[in-house]
Amino acid sequence: VAETQADAQKAAKSIKIQYQDLPAIITIQVPGLDLLHVGGQEHFYLETNVTLAVPRDQDEIEIFSSTQSPSQTQSCVARVLGIPSNRVDVRVKRVGGGFGGKVSRSNIVSNVVALAAHRRPVRCMLDRDEDMLVTGGRHPFCAKYKVGFSESGQVLALDVTYYSNAGNSMDGSILVAHEAVVHMENSYLVPNIRGRCIVCRTHLPSNTAFRGFGTPQTMLVCEDWISAIALKLGRAPEQIRELNLYSEGDRTPYNQVLEGVTLRRCWDECLDRAKIHERRAQIQDFNRQNRWIKQGLAVVPTKFGIAFKELFLNQAGALVHIYTDGSVLLAHGGTEIGQGLHTKMIQVLSPQVKIHVCETSTHSVANSSPTGASMSSDLNGAAVRNTCEILNQRLQPYKDRDPQGNWESWVKAAYFDRVNLSANGFYRAPELDYDSKTNSGRMFHYFAYGVCCSEVEIDCLTGAHKTLSSTIVMDVGNSLNPAIDIGQVEGAFMQGVGLFTLEQLLYSPDGVLLTRGPGTYKIPGVGDIPTQLQVYLLRDAPNDKALYCSKAVGEPPLCLATSVFFALKDAIATSRLEVGLSGPFQLDSPATAERIRMACADRFTKMCPVAEPGTYKPWAVVV
Q: What residues are labeled active site?
A: 555
Q: 298-337: b or e for each residue (b if 16 or more CB lie within 10 Å)?
A: bbbbbbbbbbbbeeebbbbbbbbbbeeeeebbbbbbbbbb
Phi, psi of 465 (to 5 degrees): -145, 165
Q: Are 319 and 387 in contact (CB under 8 A)?
A: yes
Cβ-proximal residues to 342 (8 Å cutoff; 6+ apart), any chain: 336, 357
Phi, psi of 512 (to 5 degrees): -100, 130
**Cα–Cα distance for residue pair 508/511, rounded to 1 Å:** 5
3-state secondary structure at position 453:
strand
* Cα three-residue angle 51-57-62, rounded to 5 degrees: 20
DSSP-derived letter for residue 518 is T
Cβ-proximal residues to 149 (8 Å cutoff; 6+ apart), any chain: 155, 156, 229, 233
Distance in angstroms between the alpha carbons of the first and the last residue of the chain: 36
Residue 127, class by beta-carbon neighbours within 10 Å (0-12 exposed, 13-18 middle, 19+ buried)? middle
Cβ-proximal residues to 275 (8 Å cutoff; 6+ apart), any chain: none
Number of H helices, E strands in the chain: 16, 19
Question: Rg of the chain over CA atoms, in angstroms?
Answer: 26
3-state secondary structure at position 576:
helix
* Cα three-residue angle 504-507-513, rounded to 5 degrees: 90
Residue 437, class by beta-carbon neighbours within 10 Å (0-12 exposed, 13-18 middle, 19+ buried)? exposed
3-state secondary structure at position 193:
strand
CA dihedral 233, 238, 239, 245 (to 10 degrees): 120
Residues 149, 154, 159, 163: is their CA dihedral positive or negative? positive
Closest Cα to residue 159, out of 167, 147, 171? 147
**Cα–Cα distance for residue pair 462/292, rounded to 1 Å:** 9
**Cα–Cα distance for residue pair 305/556, rounded to 1 Å:** 8
Q: Are 137 and 40 in contact (CB under 8 A)?
A: yes
**Cα–Cα distance for residue pair 73/387, rounded to 1 Å:** 26
Number of residues that this document lists for the chain: 623
Q: Are 470 and 564 in contact (CB under 8 A)?
A: yes
Secondary structure percentages of the chain, helix, strand, coil, to 5? 35, 25, 45
Closest Cα to residue 531, out of 466, 598, 618, 449? 466
Closest Cα to residue 248, out of 265, 230, 272, 271? 265
